Amino acid sequence: RKEVEQDPGPFNVPEGATVAFNCTYSNSASQSFFWYRQDCRKEPKLLMSVYSSGNEDGRFTAQLNRASQYISLLIRDSKLSDSATYLCVVHMEYGNKLVFGAGTILRVKS
């Protein structure tokens, strides 16, 4: 089983739609979680950290479910500019390293 798993997509949605991605992780001891955004042929950039209580940043909401070992990202009112690959990232206490999922592709269409 991969340490971090994501649905690769692509998710094709119209502008204005709400879309959600899930990511599962294997190590129950993991403490920190992040969503990064990566545009085509560019470097990943931090979108948001995921806190135990959940957090919201504008149209983006991240949630953590420790019991089921998954995190989610919800995007409301999708914009064309939201089209990108969204990487789920988990901090592994063992080895003190970040583990990246393969990413979920989002395509927002007009």
Partner 1 sequence: DGGITQSPKYLFRKEGQNVTLSCEQNLNHDAMYWYRQDPGQGLRLIYYSQIVNDFQKGDIAEGYSVSREKKESFPLTVTSAQKNPTAFYLCASSIVLADSTDTQYFGPGTRLTVL
1/34 Cα distance (integer angstroms) = 20
- The answer to whether 10 contacts partner 1 (rule: CB under 8 A) is no
- The answer to whether 103 contacts partner 1 (rule: CB under 8 A) is yes
Q: Among 12, 39, 46, 79, indicate the residue that binds partner 1 (CB under 8 A).
A: 46
Q: What is the dihedral of CA 54, 35, 23, 25, to 10 degrees?
A: -90
Q: What are phi and psi of 102, to 5 degrees?
A: -75, -15
- The answer to whether 91 contacts partner 1 (rule: CB under 8 A) is yes
- The answer to whether 101 contacts partner 1 (rule: CB under 8 A) is yes
Cβ contact 89:50 at 8 Å: no
- The answer to whether 96 contacts partner 1 (rule: CB under 8 A) is yes
Q: Among 22, 27, 32, 69, indicate the residue that binds partner 1 (CB under 8 A).
A: 32
Residue with tokens 């909401």: 61
- The answer to whether 31 contacts partner 1 (rule: CB under 8 A) is yes
107/104 Cα distance (integer angstroms) = 10
The minimum distance between CB 46 and partner 1, in angstroms, equals 5
Residue ranges in contact with partner 1 by CB under 8 A: 4, 8, 31-32, 34, 41-46, 49, 87, 91, 93, 96-103
